[in-house]
Structure 1
Amino acid sequence: MRHKLGPDVRAAYASDTRGSLADIGLLARRSTKALGALSLLCAGAGGAVLVAEASGLASGGASDGLWLLACGLVSAALAGVSGGLSRTAVRLRGAGSGADLALVTHHLRSGEVISIAHAHAPFAAMPGAQLVGHGLFERILVADRPAFLAAVSGAAGLKQDAHDLRCEVRLRCEADGLSPEFVWMEMRAFPLDGGRVRACWRDIGAQKARAEQEAAARQEAERANAAKSQFLAAMSHELRTPLNTILGFSEMLLGDTAGRMDGEKRAEYARIIHDSGQHLLGVVNDILDLSRVEAGAYELLVEPVDVRRLAQTCHDMMAIEAVRRDVRITLSLSSRVPPILADQRAVKQMLLNLLSNALKVSAPGTRVEVSARVEGGSLLIAVADQGPGMSPADVARLGEPFFQTGDMERRRTGSGLGLAVVRALVRLHDGAFDVASVLGRGTTVTLSLPLTRPAVVVAPFARPGAAAQPDGERRRA
């Protein structure tokens, strides 16, 4: 085994080795070409003399015969030297720099290690007995062992001047050999005489990690691009549908110049236009709110919020819609529910969106319940409906922009943005968004909001003596 060298000596050795091997390889390649050319020149000269003598242009003698013999011998010698240098160049080019090799081993055709020619960290301090024989083979991940054996046995059957065979395997490099951590290694197998093989091992873990990071970044970019395209397509549909309704019914009203349409029909068309306009306004507002949150431009005005009073306000605002759908909204909030430090406008919007979504999926004669309780340092606000429920696959996607569940009739009443806005606002409050649903029994959406907020941090550029805002703090997402 190679002794452990100091960092300065190793650096100098690596530099010298890298330079010398590169220079020798370059010299060998250039010498091969030069000697090959000289060999051809000598052979050509000898051939020219023979042709001249055969044609009678020159008279041969003993000196000419010796000269031809010398040309032949020189040509053969140059050809031999050229072949040797060519094989040396191939080996040097294949072996590369020894400074970046972690291990160099000699193997039999069966893969057994018969000797260790070079060992660098982390193999430098490892006893050779742990690697010779089948020790190295047992450190290779089981799934990679066939590739290792194929490379070694394949190289053993090649000529010595042939190119190497490569494979990538995962290898345990710890001294005990029992650690579950594997390191990616590239093994290059070179044929030697007698059916033996020299294997050069190089650590490629960093390259693999970079490749995985690049692949993950590429996949993330592709997902983001697909999500953007899907978002734009869905947004175009959500905006186009109510606009077409408004234009269609308004054109019908404008076209009735003769007054043939009765008042009831006109009122119905006007109501449809109004509802479509309200739906369009809601979609635009949701898109704007969602884009502000995602862009970090949504400001939180943090102040004490009375959740019981806010829930009652939301109940009153949704009362007309609940009566129209024949759905009852009940509030189950104890008087002991404490106030929370949050943005009152954002909490109100979250409750209204949850109530609106629950009413849309509820059948006539059912109930929607709003409850709240304290758990740990958070206030849990739950909105439960008795609708059709959702499958686990739909629950996992709930809150994605424009994603809707249920039949087509219910999908026409919403855009799928309401819950996406709720989830974004909850995340802005450092809270949690949880959904529990059972098919045929209903869905419960629970918001977990922290009771308190972090202390206000005064910015370094704040003017001394500036009065604090009495109604709370402002926090930008």
Structure 2
Amino acid sequence: MAVFARRSARALGVLAILGAGAGGAVLLAETAGLASGSAPDAIWLLACGLISAALAGVAAGLSRAAGRLVGVDLVADLALITLHRRSGEVLAVDHADAERTCLVESGLTGLGLFERIQVADRPAFLATVAAAALPRDGHLESLCELRLRCERAGETPVFTWMEVRAVPAEGGLARVHWRDIGATKAQAERDASARAEAERANSAKSRFLAAMSHELRTPLNTILGFSELLATDLDGQMDPARRVDYARIIHESGHHLLGLVNDILDLSRVEAGAYELQCEPLDVPALVGGCVEMMALEAKRRDIEVKSSLPGRLPVLVADQRAVRQVLLNLLSNAVKFSPAGGQVDLQAKVRAGQLVLSVADAGPGMAQDDVARLGEPFFQAGDMEHRRHGSGLGLAVVQGLVLLHGGAFQVASTVGRGTTVTVTLPLAPPAQASEPVVAPFARLGAGLERDADRRRA
């Protein structure tokens, strides 16, 4: 029986060695002494050892296979793998994806790679490598992001963002994995820019609505206030002249409110790209004459003379009649409003380089250059409060939008104390396609308010 046990133990030990390699040999040596004693115990222990060693071998094999697969995935995702001294010097290059980095291994050793790192990022890179080469407090990995110069033949060098992950290597060295994160960074910047733009647009929209609400509230309060006074005169004791005056104020406020609403709607349609031009041949002298006649009553009431100066012959203008009439009426209305009593408004038309040039000049108070730059912003009104009460600040914004929609140009020249001249230029033929919508009123209003805030802070 003892002989059988020893032979069985020897056979199992050999099987263990064959099945588990060196681990089986060690296990056999540890259990050899037991084989000379109780045969069943020895056989049992050796059988258990065989099973354990075999399982360990299988696990090790799976681990090595998994490691190879992970390594393939990591390398496939990496642009570069390098071995560094603490000084940042490259001792070896394990992997270089020339397509991603525009680098070749021969140019990376020594300080070749370090010199391609943007100067501002080099301290962070050196700190990352040093932290991995001399790990402390159990931190075995160090990470940073930097910009690496990428060069292609015949192209201007550019910097691309890299994620640098350094881990300890034998001999106090650092193994560095480089991953291209340029696309991720660019997307993050686009997302941040889009969020900032959305926030600015939302803020500008809120300011625009607040300004619009104020402009609408003023004539509405006037209408409500004076109509209430008329409604309380139940016995008809109110002076007839006062009654007529109240009715006139209500009518003027209603007319102003209607014009304001129309301007807001037109401006919104123009800048949303929803204003469709109905272009047709226009008789410029007849159109100009009609607009001057429409302004005659208001000009007479203010003791303002409106004159028009046109050449003997003007070519036909192909444009949207309603839009051009509104441009002229808005320009004339502004000029009349801001001209002093006894003043004069001049409207001129001429042709230059295949374009119709219309200009309206007044002898009003004029504007500072900072204010001229802001004309066209919704609700912006130049000058002091005395002159601001005459309008809403939408007229020129509508003019600018309609002119740009025709593919034309809008210019303002003004001198404080000497008046203002507004010039619009329209192509005689309509554009091949409608111009792109001009900058949204919300954005232009927000930009103006931000400039005001900057001036106050200064």
**TM-score of the two chains, using structure 1 as the length reference:** 0.70
Of 150, 169, 177, the match for 1:173: 150
The alignment status of 1:378 with 2:355, answered yes or no, reads yes
Q: 1:413 aligns with which of 379, 387, 390?
A: 390
Q: Distance in 2 between matches of 1:389 and 1:194?
A: 79
**What residue in structure 2 maps to residue 149 of structure 1?**
126
- 234-243 vs 380-389, greater mean Cα deviation: 380-389
Paired residue type of 1:353: N
Give CA deviations for 1:1-57 in whole Å, capped at 9, x if unaligned.
xxxxxxxxxxxxxxxxxxxxxxxxxxxxxxxxxxxxxxxxxxxxxxxxxxxxxxxxx
Instruction: Tell me if 1:430 matches 2:407.
Output: yes
Deviation string, structure 1 residues 402-446 (Cα, Å, up to 9, x no partner): 222222233332222222222222232222333344444443333
Superposed displacement of residue 347, structure 1: 0.2
Q: Which residue of 1 aligns with 2:222?
A: 245
Cα gap change, 1:366 to 1:97, in 2 (>3 Å)? farther
- Report deviation, 1:296: 3.9
Offset at 1:353?
Answer: 1.0
Q: Secondary structure at the match of 1:300?
A: coil
> Structure 2 residue aligned with 1:108, among 76, 85, 93?
85
Tell me what 2:186 maps to. 209
Choose 1 or 2 for highest CA Rg: 2
- Asked whether the equivalents of residues 94 and 164 of structure 1 are also in contact (C-alpha less than 8 Å), the reply is no
Aligned equivalent of 2:447: none
Residue in structure 2 matched with residue 287 of structure 1 by the alignment: 264
The answer to whether the aligner puts 1:443 opposite 2:420 as a matched pair is yes
Matched, 1:354 2:331: yes
Deviates more, 1:181-190 or 1:374-383: 374-383
Taking structure 1 as reference, are residues 125 and 167 closer, same or farther at Cα in structure 2, changes over 3 Å only? closer
CA offset at residue 385 of structure 1?
A: 3.1
Contact 2:220 2:253 (8 Å CA) reproduced:
yes
Label 1:387 to 1:171 Cα distance change in 2 as closer, same or farther (>3 A).
farther
Name the amino acid aligned to 2:95: H
Which residue matches 2:169?
Answer: 192
**1:246-303, CA deviations, whole angstroms, 9 ceiling, x for partnerless residues?**
1111221222334443233222222211111110111122122223334444332211
Residues 172 and 241 (structure 1), Cα distance of their counterparts in 2 relative to 1, 3 Å cut: same
In the alignment, the residues of structure 1 paired with residue 137 and residue 153 of structure 2 have an alpha-carbon distance, to the nearest angstrom, of: 35
Shift of 1:173: 0.8
Picking from 157, 160, 173, the partner of 1:183 is: 160
* Equivalent residue number for residue 326 of structure 1: 303
* 1:227 paired to 2:207: no
Tell me what 2:456 maps to.
none
In 2, the alpha carbon distance for the partners of 1:186 and 1:476 equals 41
What is the CA-CA distance between 1:127 and the residue it aligns to? 4.3
The residue type paired with residue 316 of structure 1 is E
SS in 1 for 2:197: helix
Q: 8 Å contact 1:184–1:204 — kept in the other structure?
A: yes
What's the counterpart of residue 430 of structure 2? 453
Q: C-alpha root-mean-square deviation of aligned residues, in Å?
A: 3.7
1:138 corresponds, among 115, 119, 124, to 115
Question: Residues 134 and 445 (structure 1 numbering): CA distance in 2 closer, same or farther, change over 3 Å?
Answer: farther
Alignment map for 1:8-47 (pairs within 5 Å): none
Choose 254-263 or 414-423, whichever is displaced more. 254-263
8 Å CA contact 1:358–1:385 kept in 2: the answer is yes
Q: How does 1:37-76 map to 2 (within 5 A)?
A: none
Q: Which amino acid aligns with 1:356?
A: S
5+ residue gaps, structure 1: 1-62, 457-473
Q: For the structure 1 residues 307 and 263, does the alpha-carbon distance in structure 2 shift closer, same or farther, using more than 3 Å as the test? A: same
1:125 positional shift: 6.7
Distance 2:383 2:341 in 1: 16
Asked if structure 2 preserves the Cα contact closer than 8 Å seen for 1:101 and 1:202, the reply is: yes
Q: Is the 8 A contact 1:94 1:163 kept in 2?
A: no
- Native 8 Å contact 2:101 2:150 kept in 1: no
Contact 2:366 2:420 in 1 (8 A): yes
8 Å CA contact 2:98–2:104 kept in 1: the answer is no
Match of 2:277 among 277, 287, 300: 300
Q: Distance in 2 between matches of 1:356 and 1:309?
A: 18
TM-fit CA distance, 1:343: 0.6
CA distance in 2, matches of 1:119, 1:475: 50
**Structure 1 residue 349: Cα displacement:** 0.3
Structure 2 distance, partners of 1:240, 1:418, is: 18
Cα distance change on mapping 1:280 and 1:177 into 2, 3 Å: same
One-letter code aligned to 1:212: E
Which secondary structure state, in structure 2, belongs to the residue aligned with residue 122 of structure 1? helix
Partner amino acid for 1:242?
P
Q: Deviations over 1:219-259 (max 9, x none)?
A: 22223322332232222222221111111112212223344
Overall identity of the aligned pairs, in %: 61
Secondary structure of the residue that 2:277 maps to in structure 1? strand
5+ residue gaps, structure 2, are 1-40, 438-458
Secondary structure of the residue aligned to 1:194 is coil
Residue type of the alignment partner of 2:96: A
- The aligned amino acid for 1:332 is S
Q: 2: CA distance between counterparts of 1:191 and 1:95?
A: 20
Greater displacement, 316-325 / 381-390: 381-390
Cα 1:196–1:285 change in 2 (3 A) is same
Deviates more, 1:108-117 or 1:346-355: 108-117
Amino acid paired to 2:292: H
Tell me, in whole angstroms, the C-alpha distance in 1 between the residues paired with 2:103 and 2:280: 64
Q: Aligned equivalents of 1:124 and 1:234: distance in 2?
A: 53
- Number of equivalent positions: 382
Whole-angstrom CA distance in 2 between matches of 1:476 and 1:433? 16
C-alpha change, 1:242 and 1:124, in structure 2 (3 Å) is: closer
